A and B are shown apart, each in its own frame.
Chain A
């Protein structure tokens, strides 16, 4: 029924897939869980290919590992690096309800799979049919004939599903702009029109001993310019003072004077 190579591949990959799937449940960090799922998806793709479903296998990797998992990663990263699961029940009775549903699903799966007749002859006939299709019109053509023939209605409905997805994403994630965006050119024009900081704000750290972004630039009279430091750093109270540098400066000036006097 199955070739030995296929069996070997299955017994190597299936445990990895199961471990990765368990990783989803037990991984501490959300991103590790997502990576576990990505691994499961890749291995499922390989299983499909091993079952002679080339197109399906590659599409599994292409769509699930590529697109869906990327979305998943982005969502996980929305919640932050070290977010961990909260065990607080947000909806009352949620735990019992989900337990009930899990038991239901397990029962359904158990009986459905148990009721399947694994008849060697039928299975072999199915495999032969797939192999014959792959050889003559080809695997992709076979899939295409099903999509655009037998399942055409489902295919068309899929497009409606995609519209729903776009709508949902816009409703959840899109933020309307209240004011029109000011472009770079408009900013420049505004600066000239208002005649303030026409040449741009002063750059930070133009002091000879230090050029970090938290060091304010010095004005000609030696006072630090508050405009030259990012207001984020000011808010975080991270701005370096120039006092120590000024001591150095005085020291140097003294040295120069001494040198001139000699």
Chain B
């Protein structure tokens, strides 16, 4: 009941819905040339972020592995990525003889291009003055913005599958297929997890979702969606521990085995920009987007909240996710492919679907679809329907968790049967070390084996003694 109350408190504080689902950002004072300027700005922001994040990743992983990481080119090695990029450009661009030339060139371009497109609808800050126009710090916003990101991602998969297919080689083909199956499998769970956000915000436009979070970030009422999104976004971007497409032990380089020079660099760039895109979407949907964190927004009537300040908070939250990506890579081993697919199809999808239904019921109760009667509890007026629904969901969740845990405990118990208390240290003629808590059977003098054995089997307790006798006889 207390859990249900907390849950109610969390979801009860949501602001009233906007009258329409359309974007709240006002683009009426944004001429097309200014949109182009903003697009160039976002593009440069992404390129610089990519240069930085590759350096950041190598440095942080270096720290995690007790080594310095790149520190030669520029201050703190900051220019390392730039140097690597330049070097990639000056290398020979090899097209294998068996490759399908046109598609082979097109595939990395599709990946890189599609990675950039989705960032156009991410709000990076509040409304600012730019060249004499008042405009939101966002390239554009549309009523179907979040869906657009998913659509662009599904086009981006073409880059991977076509690269794998067009290389005319075994490893790329297998890597491309694996990668595609992986991305599409996790895209479903990702898409389903976002439904809870739309239920709360009543809109798919990113600016409307951000402004709907002004009093409460959706990470609290949609905590489960956040967890699912966090897992799926790693699966979507083919990053460790889910980088099965590039499992070098089994597939060499995966779909980009045959690629070299700048065409390879485009896949690399695409991967990192995709990481930024999914992180930016997570920031926008769950962490209040560009809005200042709760305590800072309370300072002096949110003086650090509006305008260009938004860019700072947005970037900070974005890099929080980038750090999580790096952290995961530094600490987790790669999962096996069948484990990965099983987790996606048999766990994430059904449980996310159940969660979406639960949120729909909670939301329906809040909006008064299930009756309007109220009750007062601890000085707060609660709707009976919401309390009942939240309690039912909580009970079901607890029961499911309990059954799950019970089953696992049973399986674990079945797996490790208690080892026998006594152990023959020389069973089957090989030396066998005892497990902790096991007693050793007293070694018997070899010559007196026959008569002593018969007394030992009668004195020792139960069947284990008898079996020991048998074994003694067979090898003796």
B-binding residues in A (CB < 8 A): 29, 31-32, 35, 38, 42, 45, 54-55, 57-59, 61-62, 65-67, 70, 73, 77, 81, 134-141
| B20 close to A (CB within 8 Å) | yes
Find B151's partner among A29, A66, A77, A136 (CB 8 Å cutoff).
A66
Q: Which of B100, B148, B161, B204 contacts A73 (CB 8 A)?
A: B161
Task: Check A66 against B143 for contact (C-beta < 8 Å).
Answer: no
Contact assessment for B155 and A42 in the assembled complex, using a CB-CB cutoff below 8 Å: yes
Is B257 engaged at the interface, CB distance under 8 Å to the other chain?
no
* Docked complex Cα distance between A45 and B154 (Å): 14
Interface of A is mostly: helix
The 0/1 profile, CB within 8 Å of A marked 1, for residues 40-56 of chain B is 00000000000000000
Given contacts A62-B147, A73-B161, contact A81 B155 (CB under 8 A): no
> Can you name the residue of chain B whose Cβ is closest to the Cβ of A38?
B158
Chain B contacts for A138, CB-based, 8 A: 20-22, 143, 203
If A31-B165, A73-B161 touch, does A140 touch B154 (CB 8 Å cutoff)? no
Residues of B contacting A81 with CB < 8 Å?
A: 165, 168
B147 touches A58 (CB 8 A): yes
Which residue of chain B is the closest to A56 with respect to CB atoms?
Answer: B144
Q: Which residues of B contact A77 (CB under 8 A)?
A: 165
Interface SS of chain B = helix
Max chain A C-beta neighbours (<10 A), residue from B103, B144, B165: B144
Say whether, besides A58-B151, A62-B150, A67-B154, A139 and B161 are in contact (CB < 8 Å): no
Could you say which residues of chain A place their CB within 8 Å of the CB of B184? 66-67, 70
- 1/0 per residue, CB under 8 A from A, across B156-181: the answer is 01100110010010000000000010
- A81–B167 Cα distance when bound, in Å, is 11
> How far apart are B252's CB and chain A's nearest CB, in angstroms?
12
- How far, in angstroms, from A261 to B229 measured CA to CA in the complex? 72
User: Given A61-B152, A81-B165, A139-B143, 10 more contacts at CB 8 Å?
Assistant: A31-B100, A35-B103, A59-B151, A65-B151, A67-B184, A70-B184, A73-B165, A139-B144, A140-B143, A140-B204
Give the residues in chain A near B103, CB-CB below 8 Å: 31-32, 35
Q: Whole-angstrom distance from the CB of A70 to the nearest CB of chain B? A: 6
Which residues of chain A come closer than 8 Å to B162, judged between CB atoms?
Answer: 35
Q: Does B35 count as interface, using CB distance less than 8 angstroms?
A: no
B-chain residues with CB within 8 Å of residue A42 when the two chains form the complex: 155
Q: What's the Cα separation between A135 and B20 when bound, in Å?
A: 8
Q: How far is the CB of A245 from chain B (nearest CB, A)?
A: 25
Interface flag for B142 (CB, 8 Å)? yes
Chain B residues, CB < 8 A from A67 = 154, 184
Question: B21–A137 contact, CB under 8 A?
Answer: yes
Mask, B330-350, CB within 8 Å of A = 1, is 000000000000000000000
Q: Are A62 and B151 in contact (CB under 8 A)?
A: yes
| CB neighbours of B147 from chain A (8 A) | 55, 58-59, 62
